Structure 1
Amino acid sequence: MADTSLPQAQRLLNKVAVVTGAASGLGRAISLLYAAHGAKLVCADLRPDIDPERSGQAPEPATHDLILARGGQAVFFQCDVTKAEQVAALVAEAVKHYGKLDIMVNNAGVNVESLEPAIIHEASEELFDKTLAINTKGVFLGSKYATAQMLKQEPHANGDRGWIVNVASIMGLVGLESCPGYCASKSAVVGLTRNIALDYAPHRIHCNAIAPGYTQTPMLNAATKLIPPEALGPIHALHPFKGLGEPDDIARAALFLASEDASWITGQCLAVDGGFTTR
């Protein structure tokens, strides 16, 4: 991960951002980069730190603690994104702590089907429901309460009221064998992003999505741990840039979409995938 403690241009100076799934992977990278660019963070997750058993990594400082240690501003808020009352409380916490909400990053997601892959007639209904509850309903709820708050706020000097960044997946653009729930959930995120963009464009609320490719995160590690190392070579070869992405690759795209550099962009799904979906 890049050293985000180094001085950088403050592209998000004094903006307030909520990031779900902030404890690890993409959410952690996005939170750290946002903070390095001057944003004030509410880091939301089921727990503040990376679960060593789930990630297979050594214990690390919690995301919000690392931001504080680097001189930034951040708080942790425990939140289950499938529960409306908890997501409403999350947005309320941002307003209570910082006075407003400028950026909502709906990042929390799972691919539980990767541990029990199955084609659809053999797929688990329980896993399908769990996947859509977190990956799709979580984005719905995050966007629902974020837009409600943004509508109450005075616009920024450039006329914008807020930025929503949804983390989809390339599997919302193309298929993936034996993961019907994951593909369905991420495709729904792409469609929901376009709907929100249309409905809230008159209010100058941006809504865009990122479709990460195969990125080296704890989720990918869990998904591929059953795959023999020699079988990973073909996955690397599917990327024209060769090899897997890093969380910082996704974080930089999330920074762009939450900044005024994206002032005339809304309703888009940006694939950050090393060229995977060009084939």
Structure 2
Amino acid sequence: MRTNPTGRQLRFGTELRKLRERAGLSATEAGQLLGIRQTQVSNMEAGRVGVGAERLRTIARHYDCSDKALVEALAAMAPDRKRGWWEEYRELLSSGLLDLAEAEHHARSLRSTTTARIPGLLQTREYALEIFRQAVVELSPPDIEHRLSFRIKRQAVLFREENPTPYAATVHEAALRMKVGGPTIARQQLRHLLYMSERKHVTLRAISFDVGAYPGSGQSIYYLHGAVPQLDTIQLDQSHGATFVDAEAQLHKYRTLFDRIEAIALSPAKTRDLIHNVMRDL
């Protein structure tokens, strides 16, 4: 039995519970239907016990789930026993950061919107280092190095030789103009944004100061698309740390929010023009 399920394992268990609840079954009733104890049902739904792909399909049939796309997406999650690169940081960083890397690794596509900082997947090493040095709770040099190497390794999802993850980032002009680390580092970061914006699977849009207030302004939001919409995940940056959201109503709300934000943002071409203008102002 797992003592510390990963975020992905917990999410799988949560989706099992949702299937059962949609079927109108209690855990005890589900156990009777499946021929197992209620405690085993609870352990599966808590991510403490693994479920194979065929067992998942059997459970879905007993729960009268007719959503084949969702069932197959869950079946693909079920046998995932491989240890990802992020596991080497298990004793060094918070579980939330490891869960984020795991979710990014499996995401079909990514969307983000930021106001005051360049998003992590697009940061240069020097820019990220300055951000970590300015943490409210001062980090030790080893802690900074762990976080820095972890952030750079996360960016590998954008550089895969086969099927790099599509990424749409919306960045406020304030983040582009903020001289993090001084003019030299800031200019280097802007050049990197231009380079990344030319990659086919990366879409970069900026929100200019002219827009004024807009939906979601002031928030840093990260949307990770799963194999089906029900398996999407949202990460929100809070003062106490990152929060993950996956309730269906919230997923719909934030999908709509991203659509509205991207609609008011500059086109990718005009965004590159803005970045060039900011670089000239440095």
* TM more than 0.5: no
Q: Whose helix proportion is higher, 1 or 2? A: 2
Structure whose alpha-carbon radius of gyration is higher: 2
| TM-score, normalising length: structure 2 | 0.32
